[in-house]
């Protein structure tokens, strides 16, 4: 057997941290940048899937790599034409629905204990930037939560809200990290190994599919492979070389 490519060991390290316990639901997101930033945030936290409830002129069907940084390749995105169809699928798959909401009756989310006990499968719904979740989703939610504000600003950017809620979820339920079943992990491995093969598909990595390599000990990039993320014009002005090797 040939030497294991580092990219596969990195994939195994990511797989070992993926969760199947938390699902993100975006309802009628209207800003393309917000939509793609949420995908990037969710993937960085280890969320495996995002469900999207569409609307007219849905902004998320085309992902801009400049915003997602390629994260959309590693998250399963499932789309629904309405809240009713999404809710039906959530109930069929036994998801408990927690929705972020600023309306009366929502609970203030101040610390991880506020989320306990955490159900076995939690779908967290984030609504439209202008007016939040729909009335249909509000009525169906098992629990409604909001992040407290302490300034003149009445709301946070959507991706920031997602990050804060996900961090609290993982703090309240650390056992969710890396809880994917072997079946789910194998399905992701097949998909990822194929994508990592580029134009050659699975073939370059087929030999490791049934006998995966040891994961990297850390996902932090090596110092020599790091480079700043900035526009090329700015990098040139500052004399920074963006061509340094990356993992």
**108, 80 Cβ separation under 8 angstroms:** no
CA distance 92 to 129: 28
CA distance 181 to 121: 13
Q: Where are the domains of the chain?
A: 6-11+182-238, 19-176
Bin 28: left if φ > 0, else alpha if -120 < ψ < 50, else beta. Answer: left
- φ, ψ (nearest 5 deg) of residue 50: -130, 130
Q: Which of 159, 27, 54, 168 is nearest to 110 (CA)?
A: 168
**161, 133 Cβ separation under 8 angstroms:** no
- Residue 211: predicted pLDDT: 94
Beta carbons within 10 angstroms of residue 92's beta carbon: 8
Owner of token pair 């202008």: 130
Burial class of residue 190 (count of CB atoms within 10 Å of its CB; 0-12, 13-18, 19+): middle
104-113 pLDDT per residue, tens:
999 999 888 8
CA 215 to chain centre: 21
155-180 pLDDT per residue, tens:
889 999 999 999 999 999 999 999 99
Give the model's confidence band at 205: pLDDT under 50 very low, under 70 low, under 90 confident, else very high: very high
Q: Which of 43, 42, 134, 25 is nearest to 89 (CA)?
A: 25
- Residue 67: predicted pLDDT: 47
Residue 117: cis peptide before it, omega within 30 degrees of 0: yes
Q: Which helix (H) or strand (E) holds 53?
A: strand 49-53
CATH match of 19-176 with 3.40.1280.10: yes
Least confident range of 39-43, 147-151, 223-227, 239-243? 223-227
Which runs of E-coded beta strand occur in 109-166?
Answer: 122-126, 143-146
């Amino acid at each position: 057997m040939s030497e294991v490519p580092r990219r596969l060991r990195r994939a195994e390290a990511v797989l070992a941290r993926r969760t199947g316990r938390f699902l993100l639901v975006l309802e009628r997101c209207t800003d393309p940048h917000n939509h793609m930033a949420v995908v990037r945030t969710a993937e960085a936290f280890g969320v495996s899937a995002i469900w999207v409830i569409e609307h007219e002129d849905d902004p998320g069907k085309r992902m801009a790599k400049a915003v997602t940084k390629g994260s959309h390749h590693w998250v399963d995105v499932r789309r629904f034409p309405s809240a009713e169809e999404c809710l039906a699928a959530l109930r069929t798959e036994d998801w408990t629905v927690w929705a972020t909401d600023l309306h009366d009756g929502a609970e203030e989310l101040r610390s991880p204990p506020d989320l306990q006990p955490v159900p076995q499968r939690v779908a967290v719904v984030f609504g439209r930037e202008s007016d939040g979740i729909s009335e249909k989703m509000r009525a169906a939610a098992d629990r409604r939560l909001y992040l407290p504000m302490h300034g003149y600003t009445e709301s946070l950017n959507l991706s920031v809200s997602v990050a804060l809620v996900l961090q609290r979820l993982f703090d309240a339920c650390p056992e969710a990290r890396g809880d994917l079943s072997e079946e789910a992990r194998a399905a992701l491995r097949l998909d990822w190994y194929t994508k990592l093969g580029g134009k050659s598909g699975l073939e370059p990595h087929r030999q490791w599919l049934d006998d995966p390599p040891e994961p990297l000990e850390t996902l932090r990039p090596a110092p020599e492979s790091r480079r700043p993320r900035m526009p090329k014009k700015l990098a040139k002005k500052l004399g920074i070389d963006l061509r340094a090797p990356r993992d």
